[in-house]
Chains A and B, each alone.
Chain A
Amino acid sequence: MTGPEQDHWLSRPETVRRIWLTFGVLLALTVLAEVVIDIEGYFGIDGWFGFGAAFGFGTCVIMVFGAKLLGLVLKRPDDYYHD
């Protein structure tokens, strides 16, 4: 194991900070781009400003929590079947 400064450049805190910053800017740009590029909604609602972003985020939250709830019932230790 090496210290953070000697480790791979991708794992340095400075790089991680830059990656997060770039990601944030990209997120903002994809929404702001709608000012220039009109998203033609097929069904009305999907043409709303930022709909893709909200729908993507919202459905993922639902799926993760749905999975967690199901996990409460269906999760077992990984040696459950004794294999």
Chain B
Amino acid sequence: MTDLVVYPALVLAAGAILVALTRGPVRDAVLLGTPLATLYFIWQVPDGVAATAYFLGYTIEPLEGSAVRRLFATIFAFMAFAGSLFAFRQAKWYELSAAMLYASGAVGVSFAGDLITLFIYWELMAIFSTVVVWCGDRERAHQAGIRYAAIHLAGGVILKVGIEGIMVHTGSIDVQPLALDNFDTWMVLIGVLINAAAPPLSAWLSDAYPRSSPTGSVFLSAFTTKTAILALILLFPGAGVLVPIGLVMIFYGIVYALLENDVRRILAYSIVNQVGFMVCAVGIGTDMAINGAAAHAFAHIVYKALLFMSAGVVVYRTGKNLCTEVGGLYRTMPITTICGIIGALSISSFPLTSGFTTKSLISEAAHLEHLTAVYFLLAAASAGVFLHAGIKFPWFVFFQRDSGLRPQDAPWNMSVAMILMSAVCIGLGVFPEPLYQLLPYPVDYEAYKASKVLFYLQLLLFSGLAFFVLLPWMQRTLTITLDVDWIWRRGLPQAWARGCRLADAGFNALGRTVGALSGRVINHIEWLLSPIGLLGRSWEIGTTALWVAVLLAVYVVAYLL
């Protein structure tokens, strides 16, 4: 059986190597053809374990199929295609090659039937996503890439500790639901949550993604956090702790995005926000909730990539990253503006977009489980998403004021990629059934009930009103917002420097005291030994005889006692 199966991840990896070896039209064909070939092979993977191998004395299962695994692999391969289409004429070959290896890691994780395979592909993603970050062309990208790599390698170590513990204590390396009742499974959960950008370690995402190239951020937005969601679905469905973690992520993303000035960092925070919805859904854990997490991940990858594409075009054409530097770009960038707005409406779950037909599955799951607080918090968060991403992003970038910039619209390949993604966003919003068919559990859900549509229209349009009413409080400033990464970017270095200064001062003081004391002791010894000192001077013979007599007397008395 092994001989008959093609590993989709290896197809992408082979394509990545070919991208490095070829040039010109051949390379373009490889770039666009490989993800499509991968898609074909993804759909040839049957349910259940399709291949086994021996590795380090363990039987590993590098290829295990199921509906949810194929769904995630499908969207990853599709993203590799759309990202390549967006980037193939502008990005450097090594960025494209690294991005394809990164996608290969994501597809590999999707089909990993055991924890060893999962870990290997997990690390492949960490390595090549770091390369993609480094392809940003400034020193800042290099520094952010180092921080990004450090967090992911640390996360990998935590994951590895958990996996090894499970291997030793249970003897099983299967990817299967794990109970959070021991140290090992908690380590695995923490390792996975680091990749999901869950607090307190969320800052790697908003630190690194905006520093990548305009094309790199499109790839980065798609894979790492969503493979973490798939891992949570496979390993921790229904783990209650994920509900509050997801809710914290949702509101963290909104608040930080509201304060942010960097265009792509707004979108980066909004990834954390959207992944929070999925984490929360996995925590709810019912069939409806897992369907919601999977469907939302699928739709999110498309509209988030679309948003990063439109922001990427702006950065590519203007070289500007900040809301305070752009504005009024709709005049000369109509395609980018319209596609950006479609992405913004989709992320806001506007009716007739993919966000509405997928995210509402999660709210429905909360309602069916009678999780009143969760339901209302998710509704408030939907309003908040419209506020920070749905309006803020297009308003400050494309409208707001006339910045005087008159850049050209997107190059043709970037336009085609954005139009393709926009079509998918609207397609999934108008005809959600094909996506529902691919979900892990049967879907008995009607997205477009008049009452639900009206409720969401009220919610979203009035949050739009709130945005414009509160606009004076939302004007952007040349600021950043401190995050937990302050600890290692500023706090620890400062504490170290202060510690060093204190130690320096302490050593200096000690040195001075010891120096002064030893000087006095030496002086005293010199005086003692000098011709006038107690030990150095000449004594009269009578005085000496007297002292000898005294000593002998003391000795005799002491002996008698």
Partner of B384, one of A34, A59, A76, A77: A59
Residues of A near B402 (CB, < 8 A) are: 1, 7, 11
Complex Cα distance, B461 from A53, in Å, reads: 8
A-B contact pairs, 25 of them (CB 8 A): A1-B402, A7-B331, A26-B461, A27-B462, A30-B457, A33-B454, A39-B454, A42-B375, A52-B454, A53-B458, A56-B458, A56-B459, A56-B463, A60-B463, A61-B466, A63-B380, A64-B473, A67-B254, A71-B259, A76-B479, A76-B482, A77-B479, A78-B479, A78-B480, A83-B143
A60 touches B466 (CB 8 A): yes
Q: Is there contact, CB below 8 Å, between A57 and B463?
A: yes
Q: Which residue of A lies closest to B381 (CB)?
A: A59
Nearest Cβ in chain A — how far from B360, in angstroms?
12
CB atoms of A30 and B380 under 8 A apart: no
A27 to B254, CA, bound (A): 24
Distance of B111 from chain A, by nearest CB (Å): 38
Chain A 60-83 interface 0/1 with B at a Cβ cutoff of 8 Å (1 = within): 110111111011001111101101
The residues of A that contact B477 with a CB separation of less than 8 Å are 75
Most chain-B Cβ atoms within 10 A of its Cβ — which of A1, A26, A63? A63
Not counting A27-B461, A67-B254, A75-B481, a sample of 18 additional A-B residue pairs whose C-beta atoms are within 8 angstroms of each other reads: A8-B330, A11-B331, A23-B465, A27-B465, A31-B458, A37-B454, A43-B375, A46-B376, A46-B379, A53-B458, A53-B462, A59-B384, A61-B466, A74-B483, A76-B479, A80-B482, A80-B490, A83-B139
- Name the 9 nearest CB pairs between A and B, nearest first: A52-B458, A60-B466, A56-B459, A56-B462, A59-B380, A67-B258, A53-B458, A57-B462, A53-B462
Q: Is A14 an interface residue (CB 8 A)?
A: no
Contact of A63 among B379, B384, B450 (CB under 8 A): B384
B558 at the interface (CB under 8 A from A): no
Q: Is the CB of B454 within 8 A of A67?
A: no
Encode A35-59 as 1/0 by CB contact (under 8 A) with B.
Answer: 0011110110010001111111101
Chain A residue at minimum C-beta to C-beta distance from B259: A71
Known contacts: A34-B454, A39-B454, A78-B480. The answer to whether A64 contacts B470 by CB under 8 A is: yes
Counting CB contacts under 8 A, is B255 at the interface? Answer: yes
Most buried by A among B139, B143, B330, B376: B376
Complex contacts, B465 vs chain A, CB 8 Å: 23, 27, 57
Closest residue of chain A to B324 (Cβ to Cβ) is A78
Given contacts A8-B330, A52-B455, A60-B383, contact A42 B461 (CB under 8 A): no
Question: In whole angstroms, what is the CA distance A66 to B330 when docked?
Answer: 31
Nearest residue (CB) in B for A63 is B384
Q: Considering the chains assembled together, what is the distance between the CA atoms of A34 and B464 in angstroms?
A: 19
Q: How far is the CA of A40 from the CA of B482 in the complex (A)?
A: 42
Q: Chain A interface residue count: which class?
A: 35 or more
Please give the residue numbers on chain B whose beta carbons come within 8 Å of chain A beta carbons, in ascending order. Answer: 139-140, 143, 251, 254-255, 258-259, 261, 322, 328, 330-331, 367, 372, 375-376, 379-380, 383-384, 387, 402, 404, 450-451, 454-467, 470, 473-474, 477-483, 489-490
Q: CB distance B458 to A30 under 8 Å?
A: yes
Cβ of A62 to closest chain B Cβ, rounded Å: 8
Q: Across the interface, do A78 and B261 meet the contact criterion of CB distance under 8 Å?
A: yes
In whole Å, how far is B328's beta carbon from the nearest beta carbon of chain A? 7
Instruction: Give the docked Cα–Cα distance between A63 and B383 (Å).
Output: 10
Q: Which A residues lie within 8 Å of B478 (CB)?
A: 77-78
Q: What is the minimal beta-carbon distance from A71 to any residue of chain B, in angstroms?
A: 5
Contact A30 B461 (CB under 8 A): yes
* Cβ-defined contact, A39 with B255, below 8 A: no
Q: Given A39-B451, A57-B465, are A71 and B458 neighbors across the interface (CB < 8 Å)?
A: no
